[in-house]
Amino acid sequence: MEQELDARRILCPLPVIRTQDAVAKLSPGDVLRVIATDPGVVYDIPAWCKVHGHKVLAIEEGREEIRLTIEVGG
């Protein structure tokens, strides 16, 4: 299953908290795509993933948005 989380126009720690809430509803192997505007997510979400056993598959930094693709771990 793939899901998308819109975390634009909110600042840390809210993108991480919303990511955590979304991941809690998913199963291992599912993919969550996070779209954010806070540049801190480039560091904060991968750090959160590492602690909680999830895998960052991609980080794409555009001019106005950052897209992170996360695979939910077990």
Check if the beta carbon of residue 53 is closer than 8 Å to that of residue 73: yes
Query: In angstroms, what is the C-alpha Rg of the chain?
Result: 11
CA distance 25 to 12: 21
Q: Which residues are catalytic?
A: 12
